[in-house]
A and B are shown apart, each in its own frame.
Chain A
Amino acid sequence: MEFVFETNGLTKCFDTVTALDSVDLRVRRPTIVGLLGKNGSGKTTLIQHLMGLQLPGEGSVTTLGRPSSELGHDELIHIGYVPQEIRLLDWMTVEQHLHYVSCFYPAWDREREQRLLDELELDVSRSVGALSTGNLQKLAIILAVCHHPRLLVLDEPVSDLDPIVRAKLLEFLLELLREDEATILVSSHVLRDVEKIVDWVICLDDGHVVTDAALDELKELYSEWRVVSINGDLPERFSEPFVISQEISGREACLLIKEGAAEIDAFRNAHGVDVTGRPLNLEEMFPVLVDTRSS
């Protein structure tokens, strides 16, 4: 199997809305991929296609080497999935639910189950229907990882968890990558969490893939320059192609730079200015990433 998942020209329309437009993605090796995008950008629709819960309008989707619409026993025992809207069997207790789901998976790991229940402080005697949103999320995550999945897909998994549990969960995802060599796809709005663990970023905007790159590469691509003129006013506008946005006020300017880090000395000399460069973190980069298509 060459790719963990792959989409080719994946397009999906709902009535008049194009939710996904010619999406081409390939994820090969064990890695943690962050799936980012504003609300309604197509993240959940993409995930549902990977899980075989939606059929492509056009194009194709392959998950663990099989068209996702034909996923069967051999693939499903290697997939873990936590959907955004968690639907479990309300009338069972946590313990009963765990036992019920474990029966479907030959590789169910009781030890991992117990350790996660302890670490995430989930009471097994509680009834599933009475769990808070956060506790329901914890249970859904435990249900999705105890069979040592090769592909784990988490759609907004941390939104209702408190910071301590979130940190434990992130640590555990890294452990899955190290121990099980799992590929993990996580969609989240909490960019600070994502930034800590992902090494690859896919960013959707309006159904299009606008970014598909290593996080480190992105961090090296974008920076912010504070410019101060040494003598006299700055020009009205900087016309260098690597300046993607600018705010100039008298002798000072703040520039957003793409692919220009190597030009800093030349820029300094050309304009007779002092420049202090600072790389952008994911949170600061995000608005730029989703804005590249419109500008």
Chain B
Amino acid sequence: MILLVDPHSGIPVYRQIVEQIRFGVASGLLEPGEEIPSTRALSAKLGVNPMTVSKAFGLLEEDGVLERRPGRPHVVRERRSGSIRATRLEQLERALRPVVTKTRQLDLEPDTAVQMFRRLLEDEKR
């Protein structure tokens, strides 16, 4: 999986890494058992402080997304299918929040917004 971070965004780089790996796991881009690059390798690749990478890995471990193996790179943890679905829904909800705010600011009715969302989803399918 290719990680891209923007060190000049106000979002701490460790959080950008956490979000992208979470998304990778939720979307199936990263499969259970798959090896994640080591802290050193990833820090060199992204050009960021190794402390930043190990902080991200630490959080992902706590969340049960990654599994630590002594002396070897982390792997993606096996997960129950229920929890994968929950993560997917969580990701979608977060992405939709700003859209909800915009809808309100534009003073549009919820029904209209939902219809538009449905239409866009169907357009994508074609």
* Interface residue ranges, A against B (CB under 8 Å): 31-32, 170-171, 174-175, 177-178, 192, 195-199, 215-216, 219-220, 222-223, 228, 230, 274, 276, 278-285
Contacts and interface: CB of A to CB of B under 8 A. Distances in A.
Given A276-B98, A276-B101, A174 B11 contact: no
Given A196-B47, A199-B51, A281-B9, A274 B14 contact: no
Contacts of A196: 7-8, 47-48
B48 A279 contact: no
Contacts of B9: 279, 281
B11 A197 contact: no
A216 B47 contact: no
B105 A171 contact: no
Given A230-B104, A274-B104, A177 B49 contact: yes
Interface string B93-108: 0000010010011000
A216 B10 contact: no
Contacts of A177: 49-50
B85 interface: no
B52 interface: yes
Contacts of A198: 49
Interface string B18-54: 0000000000000000000000100110011111100
* Chain A interface, DSSP helix/strand/loop, else mixed: helix
A215 B55 CA distance: 13
Question: In terms of DSSP, what is the predominant structure of the interface of chain B?
Answer: helix
B7 to A, nearest CB: 4
Given A32-B49, A198-B49, A216 B14 contact: yes
Contact of B47 (A170, A219, A278): A170
A31 B50 CA distance: 9
B8 A281 contact: yes
Given A228-B105, A274-B105, A216 B12 contact: yes
Interface residues of B, number: 23
29 contacts: A174-B43, A174-B49, A175-B44, A177-B49, A177-B50, A192-B8, A195-B7, A195-B8, A196-B47, A197-B47, A197-B48, A199-B49, A199-B51, A216-B13, A216-B14, A216-B15, A216-B52, A219-B11, A219-B12, A228-B105, A230-B104, A230-B105, A274-B101, A278-B10, A279-B9, A279-B11, A279-B12, A281-B10, A282-B8
B51 A171 contact: no
A171 B45 CA distance: 10
A220 B43 contact: no
Contact of B48 (A174, A276, A278): A174
Given A177-B49, A196-B7, A285-B10, 13 more contacts: A31-B49, A32-B49, A174-B47, A178-B40, A195-B7, A195-B8, A196-B48, A198-B49, A216-B14, A216-B55, A219-B12, A274-B105, A281-B8
